[in-house]
Amino acid sequence: MQKKIVITGGPGTGKSTVINELEKRKYDCMHEISREVTIMAKKNGIEQLFLKDPMLFSKLLLEGRVQQFLRAEKLRSNLVFFDRGIPDVFAYMNYLGVSYPSVFINQSKQHKYYDALFIMPPWKEIYITDSERYESFEQSLAIYNHLKIAYKDLGYTIIEVPFGTAEERANFILEKIEQITN
């Protein structure tokens, strides 16, 4: 049976770097799509869709992440890694204090990942902002806390990934998966 493993955390915590490391090791990975949504909105004249219309941004993310989940099921891999999961969408909405329809929670319950997920804690030494990542380090910390609550409320076991190189973090994740699945 395929194990869908989420790697999540606030912005700028090294998730994508670790996903790239896992991909280098020939694991199937689903990449973060929020940058794609942001860049597409910019092409349509909306500088920060996440800030201008958080509901539209979140709906686009929800659709994209559900599509990733369904695409993963078609892979022949026993193990697929995700740079963020479906529950991240409503965790961010909770962070913003924006109300949202039940479809966000329902999709999270309908499309379940493996019971254990990996969360990257905020890491001030590597944190940077750019044209698609505008959050401060303090905001990244608040988002991290909302992510932990969202996944815990859905029944996931949360495993915090220690700081280290991409290689060390990928090794940690792979070793933990080996321990919890045997």
Residue type, 74: K
Top-confidence residue, 161 or 14: 161
**How far apart, in whole angstroms, are the C-alpha atoms of residue 56 and residue 182?**
41
* Tens-place pLDDT, residues 77-131: 999 999 999 999 999 999 989 899 999 999 999 999 998 899 999 877 765 655 5
- What's residue 47's pLDDT? 67
Q: Which residues pair with 82 in a beta bridge?
A: 6, 30
Count, residues in the chain: 182
Show the domains of the chain with their CATH numbers: 3-181 (3.40.50.300)
**How far apart, in whole angstroms, are the C-alpha atoms of residue 141 and residue 17?**
19
* Tens-place pLDDT, residues 10-64: 887 889 999 999 999 999 999 998 877 777 777 777 666 666 777 878 888 899 8
- Quote the pTM value: 0.89
